[in-house]
Amino acid sequence: MPETVPATTLNKVCGSGLKAVSAGAQAIALGEADVVVVGGMESMSNAPYISHTMRGGARMGNVEFKDAMILDGLWDVYGNVHMGICAEECATTQDISRSQQDEYALESTRRAIQAQKDGLFKAEIVPVQIPGKKPEDVVTVSDDEGPRNAKPDKIPGLKPVFKKDGTVTAANASSINDGAAALVLMSEERAKAEGRAILGRITGYAQAARKPVEFTIAPTDAINKLLKKQGISAGDVDLWEINEAFAVVSIANNRLLGLDASKVNVRGGAVALGHPIGASGARVLVTLLQTMQDLDKKRGVASLCIGGGEGIALMVER
């Protein structure tokens, strides 16, 4: 893109990528743009350690460094706890057991690995080349490095991460990842004039909020608001992508919405693929659009929980 194209960065934690899509759609609907490139990215492995002490200068004693990845992305500032504690709260209030979370994680991993073996992610992945010291040392990454073969016999023995007697483990929660995803939005008139292949049409979007500790089930509120705006029911939606920040998130929202599990995250979710915070909103929509095309489905909904008590949802149709 030329330097004359204006750009905006927004931060809505896990919902950033999908919020970027709705913001771009609004710009087109308002006549402020015909074409908008939207998306999200996150390099969690490059998040710095920061010190609030050094700005004024440390005079005596130890200096503390904080992990910006946790402080800025994985910490509930209202309850002053890790987001994983909120997931544990969800498991308790929604009566979701450790075994249910482990079973869900295994199924998500099975779906993701099978989809990868079948080459179903190829159409939505752009190979990235990483230069080495010599030209011949270039490394090309063309497959998602997230999915790994799970060992079912090992998962039940994993220790809880956030509470001594908890249920959330490294296996039934999303991992630490780097990633990016992008989409091109156009007005229908512009797309047809240029002869573009239209993957889908954005028909609606919604946001919702509740108590910060309950962010895990906020997608249900956003989805219900979206369905009401569209005048349809959950049964009218062919495919769903609901981000798996934790297995308990998807289990809870599937249950609250009465969804058919065979229509949700059919190629696996973040428990298997990973959850690079700012990228996930765009990533789930990219996967949804590709899956709808491959399976010849008409209507789909992408949704994510957002730390701080929010949820976001967006509907597309073919």
Q: Which residues are catalytic?
A: 14, 275, 305
> CA 294, CA 272: separation in Å to the nearest integer?
21
> CA 122, CA 267: separation in Å to the nearest integer?
13
C-alpha distances out from residue 56 to 50, 63, 107, Å:
14, 12, 51
Locus of tokens 């939005």:
185
Please, which residues have CB within 8 angstroms of residue 37's CB and are 6 or more apart in sequence?
1, 24, 182, 183, 184, 185
Provide the residue type at 223 as one letter.
Answer: I
Measured at the CA of 183, the angle between CA 83 and CA 311, to 5 degrees, comes to 30
Tokens of 117: 């073996």
Locus of tokens 């991992």:
175
Contact predicate 147/113, CB 8 Å: yes
Tokens of 124: 């939505």
Locus of tokens 């498991």:
91
- Sign for the CA dihedral angle at 167, 171, 173, 175 comes to positive
Cα of first residue to Cα of last residue in the chain, in angstroms, is 28
